[in-house]
Each structure stands twice: as C-alpha cells, then as structure tokens.
Amino acid sequence: MIQLTQETKSGWCVVGVSGRADSEAADELEGALRAALELHAKVAANLAALEYISSAGLRAVIQAARAAQAKNAEFAVCSLSAAVQRVFDMSGMHHIMRIHGELPC
C-alpha cells in the first residue's frame, strides 16, 4: 500500500510518499509524480515516510525524472529513510539524479 499527498509550498509542489513503493504501487507513484510535473515547474518528492522501495518503485522515480528533464522542470527527491537510501545507493541512483537530505522549501 502506498499513500500519496500533494501540497504547494514556497513555489514547490511537494508530493508526500508514504508506505510501500513495490511492484503493485509503482504505477500509482509514477502517475502522481507525472501529474504534479504536468502542472508545476518545481516538484519535490518527500520520501521521509516511505518504508520500502523495490526496483519497480525506483523505475517510477526514474521515469518521473525523465519527464521532468523533458519539460525542463526541477525535480527533487528528498528525505530518504536509511532503508530506502540503501536501495538507492545499491542502484546508483545518485548518478542519475540529485538526492536531497531535506526538502528544498
């Protein structure tokens, strides 16, 4: 189960992601990030309450980063838990995108 929220703060659209980003939830995650990118020039994914991520969830984040790049939008991935950070590290996500310790806003 994944829970997604959205709020606007100091010019950023913050998508809050909590729960589990697994194969079943990946499409929902990608959809929410893409929808935010459609409407906003600056989107931050707040992963502070994300407990679990698999390659399917990583793929959703990668696809969102691609969508951001295509439309020249800013996309920030923020506040990873230690467990999620480990999966990002093993996957070399830092070669693809900037990972932020805290929200940019």
Partner 1 sequence: MWHNQAILTETEFVLQGRLGELERLTAETAKFCREHSLGDEMEFDLNLVLEELFTNSVRHGGCAGMENAVLVRLQLLDHAVLVEFADRGTPFDPLTAPVPNIEATLEERGVGGLGVHLVRQIMRDLEYRRADGWNRLTMQRPC
Residues that bind partner 1 (CB under 8 A): 20, 22-24, 52, 54-56, 58-59, 62-63, 65-66, 69, 83, 87, 90-92, 95-97
CB of residue 22 to partner 1, shortest distance in Å:
6
H/E stretch holding 98 reads none
The C-alpha angle with vertex 96 and arms to 33 and 46, in degrees rounded to 5, equals 35
Q: Which is nearer to partner 1, 44 or 68 (CB)?
A: 68
Q: Which is nearer to partner 1, 5 or 23 (CB)?
A: 23
**Exposed / middle / buried, residue 92 (Cβ in 10 Å: 0-12, 13-18, 19+):** exposed
Q: Which is nearer to partner 1, 8 or 23 (CB)?
A: 23
Are residues 46 and 21 in contact, defined by beta-carbon separation less than 8 angstroms?
no
CB of residue 24 to partner 1, shortest distance in Å:
6
In the block, tokens 């935010």 appear at 36
